[in-house]
Every structure is written in C-alpha cells, then in structure tokens.
Chain A
C-alpha cells in the first residue's frame, strides 16, 4: 500500500472521532429532551439551564398521564396506525401477488402508475382532503384519515411485499394447484406464509409512518379525535412554559417508533435505498 502504518492509524482515529462527533450531534437534542422530561416544573424555568436535572422527577410524565394524551390522543394513534397498517397489508398482499404472478395487458403500466403516485407530495393534498372531508361531513373523525393513511401506505407496501413474493419459487404454488388447490388457497396456504417476513415489515413500516404523521392529522382532526402528534403540538400552547411536560410527551410518542426502527433497521435501510419512502 502507498499509505504508511502511521497514516493508516491516524486515519482510523480521525474516522472514529468524526463519526462520534456527528453521532453525538444526532443524539444531543434527543438526550436533552430526555433529561428535561425528568426535571421539575420549577427547575425547567430556571436560568441558566443545566443539561442534567438538579433533582430527578416524574412530574412531566404525571401531567402527560393525566392529560388527554393518554385518554384520547394515544389510543386514537394506536387505533389509526393498527387499522390502517392492517388494511394496507391485506390489500397490498393481494396486489403484490397479482403483479408478481400475473402478466396481463397493461399490468406493467398499472404497476408503474401506482409507484408514480408515490412521487406526488403530501402538501398537494392538504386542501382537497380538507374539502373532501368537510363535504362528506367526516371532518374531525378518524374514519377519513384512516382511509387517507391506507392510500398513502399502499404503494410502498405493494413494493416491499412484491420483492418478497418474487423470491418465492413459483413451483411451490404449482405443486399446490396440481394437488387441487384453487388459486386463492394457493395464495393463502403457500405464498403468504412464506412472504410473512415481508408482510410484517410492511405492516411495521406503515405503522411507524402513520404513528408519526402530523400534516394530515393537524388539518383533518379536531377535538377528541386528535392523534398524539397533534396533541403534542397543542401542548405547546396548552402547557405554555411547562417544558418538562412537552418533553415528556415527546419521549412517550417517540419510544414506540424507535423500538420498531431498532428491531427493523435493516429493512428500513433497504427501503430507503430503493428510494421508496415518500418524503
């Protein structure tokens, strides 16, 4: 090699140092939020601020527990995310299977069309969704937004599940069909069990997206139908200087999404690399 041993050693140290600095910068706002969430209401408005709490307290979390966050917003979020992710996975599995196994006139165009839909930014839909929901008298109800989340998760989920179904040898289904199964049974009993990791990944990725969604939720939801992200936004005015409450709410909302990410990180990276996540 051209580079000497010492240069190489310096290189390794420099690389680790630089990466560690950026990792620390990525983590710092999250850690400071975590620390603030353990402060008391008094110490949080003491100047100058400290990084660590002077005394540790659960006051912020207590306030969150007694607020509408636990009563309405989090249950709504869980319901919206689970229901829409489930519907997405069922519809996407059928569509992905069809695209993987059937070639018919226009199937390629249709598939590309569904992927092209992912390129339209969410901002375009804010006003039309608001008008549609209010015309249907569904403004402020969970049903309309769940349908919206289904539509937003579908293209992405179809793409993920399809890559899984593509990797299942077609002979397995053909064997089942020769044994007298009908196509639906072949799908249900042979293909879907094998594609299960893909279905789970799609479910969790749609779940996280829906869990975190803010733009449509803030526009379309009111009152007790609000989700956790909208509730957190409202905390900014409701608990004006109670930063320990805001930050405790941040921690509560981000934890489930973080856990799913850590469990699924490889799929996450793959999905991003394929450019399939809607920005």
Chain B
C-alpha cells in the first residue's frame, strides 16, 4: 500500500526561441554575481589557499616558504602514517556495513508491504542528528562504568569489560556509530536504484524459475550497478573525510587508536597550530578523494560501453 514514490519531477519544455529581453547579458550577470562572488571567496579561494599554506610554515605570524618539506615531514611522521592506516580500517568497515546492510534494508522496503514509509522515517532519525549529538550518545552508551551497552555486553561477555578504553574496542564503537548514522543514506539510495528496475523483468525471471538470489545477482544487480557505484563513491568520500562524529565520540583516543588522518589534521593543524602541516594533510586527502572519484568514474564508464 504505502509504496513510496521517491521522485516527482515534472518539467515543461522551456527551450524555445528566446524573447528579446532574454538576450540581455546584463540581467543574468547581475543575478549571478552575488553567488559567484561568494563561491569564489569562500570555496574556490580557500581550496587554493590550502595548497599554498601546505608549502609554508608560520613563524612569528609570517608565512615562511617550505616548498615540499611539509609533505616530506608528514610522510616521516608515524602518527600520520598510523592515521592513514586507521582511515583505511575505518573507511572500509564503514563502507562494507553501510552498503551491505543498506541494500538488505532497501530490498525489504521495496517489497509490497505496509508501513514502509514509517520504517524509512524511523531509520532516518540518526541521519538528521548533528555529528556531535550522535557522538555524545554513543560515548554515553559505552561509558565504562555507567554506559548501558557496555553493561549489557559485560554481562554476556565478561572479557569485554572496557570497550571504550580499548584500542580495538574504541575503533569498533566509532565504526558502529558512523554506520548507524549513515545507514539511512545507503538505504534510500539503494531503494531509489531498486525502483528503477522494471517489475516485469523480475516477474518474468521468477516465472522462469529463478530464485531470489539468482534474481538479485543475475538481474537486479547488473541493472543498478552504475547507480550503486555512484553510491559507493559518495559513501567512500564521506568515510575518508569523516571527522565530526569521531572527534565527538572518542576525540581520536584512547591514545591514538581512533586517530584517523582527518582527526590528525584537526589536532595537528588546528589545535597545535601547525597550519602548514595540517594544510598538507588536507591536500593529501583531497588528492585521495579525486583519485577515488576518477577510479569509480572509469569503472562506471567502462561497463556502459
């Protein structure tokens, strides 16, 4: 009954001969100018400024040129290299959980059953929370003495008596919290993809005797593959740049157990005032993002031919 209609785009054909006033260049320019100015100053300039800062060092308020020495230093710093490792662990686990569970939930929500709209709204609540609210909640759930999940866990597995202060345990908490927050996102994107698959194809495959798994892996998955790859790209980027939730949940601790490259950037670049080094980290991460984007885009493009 409550089958969710997810997109409602209607648009009229406005591509006709333009009346005389539309040929004016001044009006569109005036309308666009404020937007262009704001974006140039606060999006384009800072991105370039980050690259410039990464080649400098601040000494008594003056930026000293450093050429590429910040990068050399960065790649000789164990805590940054560990941070990259933590980013990889965190991002891959996060990606795996959100994509697999999100697809599972989307398959369930795509069935003709009642209350799907209701489930979707409930699943979405974590997504609407601020990173710091979500982080505070998870920190409280696993508080070593009074956290309720910690207490329940301890009663079942007495060995797990201090997850929050454990090296591996804290990473697990951070991954779970992030997946919990972002699950709705992969669910709705998967659901959107599933709804593009024509029902007749699936029904005729069912009539031909294909079972559920054959239908999913043989028919549905190849159709939604491009959409799915875009989703995986967006989630990967989100994972690599994730910072607020980790910072609010563990602050990178205990020790440096959950200090990903992004948290390293925040602590070194901002809290310790090593702007050059911090900017270098952001450039490294930006390069990783761009490389990932290009990688997925070629994957998507290859299949289409």
Chains A and B bind each other? yes
User: Is B188's CB under 8 angstroms from A258's CB?
Assistant: no
Given A114-B39, A177-B21, A214-B130, A130-B137 contact (CB < 8 Å): no
- Does A193 have its Cβ within 8 Å of any Cβ on chain B? no
**Cβ contact of B128, chosen from A15, A151, A168, A208, cutoff 8 A:** A208
Residues in B whose Cβ lies below 8 Å from that of A236:
136, 139
- Interface majority SS (helix, strand, loop, mixed), chain B: helix
- Which of the candidate stretches B41-49, B74-82, B161-169 sits at the interface with the other chain? B41-49
- Does B296 have its Cβ within 8 Å of any Cβ on chain A? no
Given A95-B31, A95-B32, A121-B289, A127-B11 contact (CB < 8 Å): no
List B171-185 residues whose CB lies under 8 Å from chain A: 180, 183-185
Given A98-B28, A127-B278, A233-B132, A19-B35 contact (CB < 8 Å): no
User: Is A229's CB under 8 angstroms from B132's CB?
Assistant: yes
**Cβ contact of B108, chosen from A19, A128, A254, cutoff 8 A:** A19
Give the Cβ gap from B190 to chain A, nearest Cβ, in Å.
Answer: 11
User: Is A279's CB under 8 angstroms from B286's CB?
Assistant: no
Residues in A whose Cβ lies below 8 Å from that of B22:
101-102
The closest CB in chain B to the CB of A272 belongs to B188
User: Is A94's CB under 8 angstroms from B32's CB?
Assistant: yes
**Cβ contact of A279, chosen from B10, B104, B234, cutoff 8 A:** B234
Residues in B whose Cβ lies below 8 Å from that of A261:
124-125, 128
Given A26-B126, A32-B141, A125-B46, A49-B151 contact (CB < 8 Å): yes
- Interface majority SS (helix, strand, loop, mixed), chain A: helix
**Cβ contact of A121, chosen from B8, B105, B237, cutoff 8 A:** B237
Digitize B216-241: 1 where CB-to-A-CB distance is under 8 Å, 0 elsewhere.
00000000000000100010011011
List A221-279 residues whose CB lies under 8 Å from chain B: 229-230, 232-233, 236, 243, 246-247, 249-250, 253-254, 257-258, 261-262, 265, 268-270, 272-273, 275, 279
The closest CB in chain A to the CB of B22 belongs to A102
Given A22-B105, A269-B188, A126-B270 contact (CB < 8 Å): yes
**Cβ contact of A26, chosen from B32, B46, B122, B243, cutoff 8 A:** B122
- Does A33 have its Cβ within 8 Å of any Cβ on chain B? yes
- Does B201 have its Cβ within 8 Å of any Cβ on chain A? no
Give the Cβ gap from B16 to chain A, nearest Cβ, in Å.
Answer: 8
Give the most central of A97, A122, A128: most B CB within 10 Å. A128
The closest CB in chain A to the CB of B137 belongs to A29
**Cβ contact of A117, chosen from B39, B49, B116, B243, cutoff 8 A:** B39
Give the Cβ gap from B107 to chain A, nearest Cβ, in Å.
Answer: 9
Residues in A whose Cβ lies below 8 Å from that of B133:
212, 229, 232, 250, 253-254
**Cβ contact of A272, chosen from B119, B143, B185, B266, cutoff 8 A:** B185
Given A128-B46, A163-B9, A265-B121 contact (CB < 8 Å): yes
Residues in A whose Cβ lies below 8 Å from that of B120:
269
Residues in B whose Cβ lies below 8 Å from that of A104:
25, 28
User: Is A232's CB under 8 angstroms from B132's CB?
Assistant: yes
Digitize A11-39: 1 where CB-to-B-CB distance is under 8 Å, 0 elsewhere.
11001101110110111011011001000
The closest CB in chain B to the CB of A22 belongs to B105
Chain B count of residues within 8 A CB distance of the other chain: 104
CA distance A100 to B14 in the complex (A): 8
Given A49-B148, A229-B133, A270-B8, A123-B262 contact (CB < 8 Å): yes
Q: Which of under 10, 10 to 19, 20 to 34, or 35 or more describes the interface residues of A?
A: 35 or more
CA distance A273 to B279 in the complex (A): 32
Residues in B whose Cβ lies below 8 Å from that of A98:
27-28, 31-32
CA distance A209 to B296 in the complex (A): 27
User: Is B282's CB under 8 angstroms from A126's CB?
Assistant: yes
The closest CB in chain B to the CB of A147 belongs to B42
- Does A6 have its Cβ within 8 Å of any Cβ on chain B? no
- Does B38 have its Cβ within 8 Å of any Cβ on chain A? yes
Give the Cβ gap from B27 to chain A, nearest Cβ, in Å.
Answer: 6
Given A45-B145, A183-B21, A258-B125 contact (CB < 8 Å): yes
User: Which 6 interchain pairs have the tightest Cβ spacing?
Assistant: A151-B42, A212-B130, A128-B46, A279-B238, A121-B241, A94-B31
